[in-house]
Structure 1
C-alpha cells in the first residue's frame, strides 16, 4: 500500500476560474490534501492561490505538477520548474512528473531524466516520477536513474482500460501506480455490472470504480465540480469489495483508451 502518495487526491484537469476555486474548496472541506495539476493544465497559479488562501500548513499538503513535453530540454526543464513553483507560490512540490515521454525521443531520456533528478537534489521537489511511459520506457528510465529513484508512473487506468501489462511492469520495477481518468470520463456511471455491484453495497457505480482501484493499491485523483460527488469520491476509499466483485470488474476490460494524443508513445 502506498505510504507516500495520499490516496485519493483531487484532479484539476480541465478545471479553471471559479469552477476550479469552488471545487478545490469543496475538496479541502471534504478532507483532500493531495492535489494534482500540470503545466499543461494552465491552472497552477489558481491551484496555488486556493491552497495559499486555505490556511492549511504546507507540510499537510501533497502537490503534484508535471513538466510538459516541450520543456524537456535540459536548462529549459529547470526553468519551467521555477515558473511552476512561482505560479504555485511554493518553494517545492511534493511530486514532479515528466508528463509525456519526449515524442520520438526528440529529447533523449538520458538528457531530461538527469535534469529531473537534479530538481530533487536541489529540493525543488520531494519526489520525482513519470507519466504515460510504456513498459520499455519505464525500463529505460529505471536503467538511467537507478531503482527507487522514480516514485510512480501516472497512467490511465479504469475498468475499461485495466492496463495490466504496465501495472505488472511497475510492480517489477518498484514503481507505484497512480491512475488518471479513474471514472472513464463518467462512463462508469452507466455500466450495468458496476450498477449491480453498487446496489449490493448501497453506493454509486463511481464509488465502486474508485474502490476497485484502491483494492489494487493504485493511487488515484478523481475530479468533480459537485460537492456531493467530491465527498462521495473520498468516501469510496473506505469500501471493501469482495473477490467476486473484483472478478466481475476484471471482465470489463476492453482496452478502451481515452487519453491518446498525437504525442503518445506506442502503447503496450
Structure 2
C-alpha cells in the first residue's frame, strides 16, 4: 500500500497582487509549488505526487517538478478545478489502485516541514482515518452576527456611520485550533466524503475550505495533531516576507 500526496496549486493568488498564479511566485528564487513538493518528498513517507495546476500551466509545472532532483517522486500534473474542492477531487481521481492514504496539501503552505508530513501520515496509519495539523489559537475569538448597520444620527459623518457586527459569543480559546495542511485521510473515506459533497464543489461560496470539513459533514471523526508555525499560509505580500524566514528549513 502507498501514500499519495495531492498538492493543490491552481489558485490565482489575486490577494497576493501578482500577475502570475500564486504557486509560481518565487521565494528565494524558487516557486512556492516547488518548495512544497520538495518538503513532501523529503518526508520519506510520500510515494507519489499529483499536482493540480492553474489553467494553461500544466506543462510548465510538470517540467519544473520533474526536473528537480529534490522531488524525485512519481508525478502527475493535472488541471485544477474552479474551486479548491474541485481541484482536490480532480487529483483524487488520479490515485492509483494501491493508494490507501491520501495527503491533501496546499502550495500556499510551501514550508510545511517534512516532520509535519510524517506526523500526519503516522497518525493515519495508526488508525485515525482523518487527521489535520493545528496550532493553538493565541487570540481571543468572538462569534458575531453579520450584516447589521448602525447610524450615529441623522447628520452623522461618514466616519461615525459604520457597519457593526454584534458579538454572539466568545468560544473557549483552549479548545480552538488553527488548522493547517497537509491533511491526511484514509483513501476510501476521502473518496466517500468528496462524493457526498460533490454538489458543493462548483462555487466558491458553497465549496468546502478544507477536506476535513467534507469528512465532518459525513459525521465521521477528525483528529488534530500538532501543527507547525512554518506551515503558515501565504495570502498577502506581508506573508511573503515572513515566509522567507522559513525558506531554508526542510526537516
What TM-score results when the alignment is normalised by the length of structure 2?
Answer: 0.29
More relative contact order, 1 or 2 (CA 8 Å, 6+ apart): 2
- Where is the strand percentage greater, Structure 1 or Structure 2? 2
Q: Which has the higher helix share?
A: 1
TM-score of the pair, normalised by structure 1 = 0.28
